[in-house]
Amino acid sequence: MKILVTGGAGYVGGTVAALLASKGHNPIVFDNLCHSRREEVPEGVEFVQGDLADRPLIENLFISATDSGSPFDAVLHFAALIEAGESMRTPEVYFRNNTASTLSLLEAVLAKGPKRLVFSSTAAVYGEPESVPIDETARLNPTNVYGESKLIVEQMLTWFNKIHGLRYTSLRYFNVAGAPEGPSGVIRGEAHEPESHLIPLILDVALGRRMSINIYGDDYPTPDGTCIRDYIHVSDLADAHLLALGALEAHDRLIFNLGNGQGFSVRQVIESARRITGHPIPAKIHPRRSGDPAVLVASSAKAIRELGWKPRYTQLDDIVRTAWLWHQKRYNK
């Protein structure tokens, strides 16, 4: 299949694009490189630099592909800003980039593109869960602008499915981590500039790039007072995207949670990194951040049952181990 991968120069999008290529598909990466690098596009994969707000550019991609006799079969949409804390400081940026720009993409899809789309959503659409683990029927009530910006897209997709027949899968996932492993070792990993995700920040301490790791809040209603999150390995997530795309052959609207099924606190993640790296990793306590729910843990039972999804990395130490291997490779050259 020929597939447009928006945000395909990023951590998750790039991992999925590489997997698509390895399976014999033809991914075309579309990215504005605002938080990624051209060098991160998988080798041999076609790259188009552009912004989702540029609807004519996307439409022309679809038109040119169709005119050449090789039309797109689907869109995998990853492009988005993803920092919950930042979204509470600059909500207008998140609504413009994540919501308005996605509307521009969807308009191009409806006008000239394929009518199949896999949307990279988020567990943040649930907000503070009423029960844990969270399943797909849980109330949708985001506590931050990032989650709201994604929920609005899900609502648009619901209507476009009803009115225009757009077939879509929405994948709500949690904290993505780790690095894909191949015959030559780890391939690519998680790194942002500036970095804000917990596991890369912790590993930066082990590498001597930071003095300590910050813990934002130790007074949450959890066993050790720190937030609990569900960490999913990026390779398991990539597998689920391909399965979700295939499921659109027989279904026109699907929603799945993707996660490990068990939660780990910030302190537990730090302890795992200490075991894996052998570094003491000093930690400092800071006040809570606005919009951070205490616990987010997914029930992936539906994806396992209906997609046949089988996560391979279910232990936190295995996830951290692959991330550590990649970070050493990246920064100790």
163 C-beta neighbours (distance < 10 Å), count: 9
CB 147 within 8 A of CB 197: no
| Exposure letters 307-324 (e unless 16+ CB within 10 A, then b) | bebebebeebeebbbbbb
For residue 316, which of 197, 223, 232, 236 has the smallest C-alpha distance? 232
CA distance 11 to 247: 24
User: Distance between alpha carbon 28 and the CA centroid of its chain, in Å?
Assistant: 18
Task: Please give the structure tokens belonging to residue 299.
Answer: 């029930």
* Catalytic residue numbers, as ranges: 146
CB 133 within 8 A of CB 298: yes
Instruction: Specify the residue for token string 């809040």.
Output: 217
